[in-house]
Amino acid sequence: MSSTRGRTAIVGIGYSEITRRSEKPLGLLAVAACRAAIDDAGLDPSQIDGLTTYPESPFAGAGNRDGIDVVSVMYIVNHLPLAADIRWYAQIETGMIASPIIEAANALIAGACEYVLVWRAMHRPEGRPRVGTSGAPRAPGEAQFMAPWGCTSIVQWHALAWQRYMHRYGATREALAALAVNSRRNANLNPRAFFYTQPMTRDDYFNSRWIAEPLCLYDCDVPVDGCVALVMTTAERARDLKNPPAYIAGWGQNTAPRRTLLHYALDDYMECGGSLARKLWRSAGLGPADMDAAELYDGFNPSTLYWLEAAGFCRQGEACIFVHDGRIALEGELPVNTFGGSLSEGRLHGMGHIAEAVRQVTHRAEQRQIKDAEAVCAIDGSPMLRGSGIVVTSSP
């Protein structure tokens, strides 16, 4: 167990609108989410003296215009009436969205600031450039071994790994259907979700078009314009604020060494995901059996299965069975992605997962509330490449 357990807390949550194509620039969405988080914490913007974000564009080749494609620390400094003297800030360039939360926790423990604002703003670009579409028809670097055969997108890499999983463990698409339908059911109870008013059945899943066989449309997260923001402070200060605090019990980041690969490979998910999970459980002093719910990254549907196994919720090769028979439903043994996940709330790179974990342990999850929820994990990123995660609890 880490000596940092329970010393910091998340005390405010703010959402902007989540939409496929906002009429507002991304910067205004981020400002709206940040204001909402500060208000939710019962604070004034002038009390915020720490800032951190993970501003990376959604994919290589996307734009990097501040306030349009990404939202930097300086954008928020220039557009919110924060503390006159910002004492600490960090703009994380590696890891995933839990990484700035981890940095914020360390800064608070060190006394570098008193109240930290954390946000992740996501823009949905018009389209993704294909290799060789600009200039000479060349595929540079590693792409030369894949692009000539049509393998140019990340969903194709995930499709290859999932095909291998099915072959190795005898899994079928029924497992992915169970995950997708469960997430949509939960999103239908989440008024912030993009698919809040749109139910989905098993037949809807199987009738959807292929994106990269054997992955279909509903195996992919829904790209959106939107932002989620959080406010963090020390456990001592959190006790005097208007909301019950979600204490940060522990965290982990994926630093497992990986051999050079042209794309994701199934063989990496247990090594990389397991490395993160071991650090997460050791830091929190808790384990998978202690979790009342699990918010597991689902940028592509199979990633949730891999995390169930890598994090120790079930044995390797058994996640495809584990997700059936209501086990992952809100009323089940291990509720998973209780807010709808990236598949149905919207693609926010794991920030929605963390916000939902906070809601669950502070008993503010509305119709989705898990009875007596005391500990919930939120893990983001693909276990086959990178990731980070936190455990939040209702008591320090």
Q: Each residue of 151-170: pLDDT tens digit?
A: 878 899 899 999 999 999 99
Q: Each residue of 232-252: pLDDT tens digit?
A: 999 999 999 999 999 999 999
Query: Topology of 8-126+222-393 in CATH?
Result: Peroxisomal Thiolase; Chain A, domain 1 (3.40.47)
DSSP-derived letter for residue 220 is B
Alpha-carbon gap, residue 184 to 16, rounded angstroms: 20
**Cα–Cα–Cα angle for 90, 95, 97, rounded to 5 degrees:** 70
Give the chain's residues under pLDDT 50.
129-136
Amino acid 261: pLDDT: 67
Q: Where in the chain are the domains?
A: 8-126+222-393
DSSP string, 9-72: EEEEEEE---BSS-SS-HHHHHHHHHHHHHHHTT--GGG--EEEE----SSTT----BTTTB--
Alpha-carbon gap, residue 156 to 242, rounded angstroms: 46
Amino acid 256: pLDDT: 59
Side-chain-facing half-sphere of 259: CA atoms under 13 Å:
4
Torsion of CA 259, 60, 301, 353, to 10 degrees: 100
Amino acid 362: pLDDT: 98
Length of the chain: 396
Amino acid 143: pLDDT: 77
Alpha-carbon gap, residue 49 to 115, rounded angstroms: 6
Amino acid 127: pLDDT: 58
Amino acid 137: pLDDT: 63
Question: Which distant-in-sequence residues (6+ apart) come within 8 Å of 293 by Cβ?
Answer: 334, 335, 336, 338, 357, 360, 370, 373, 376
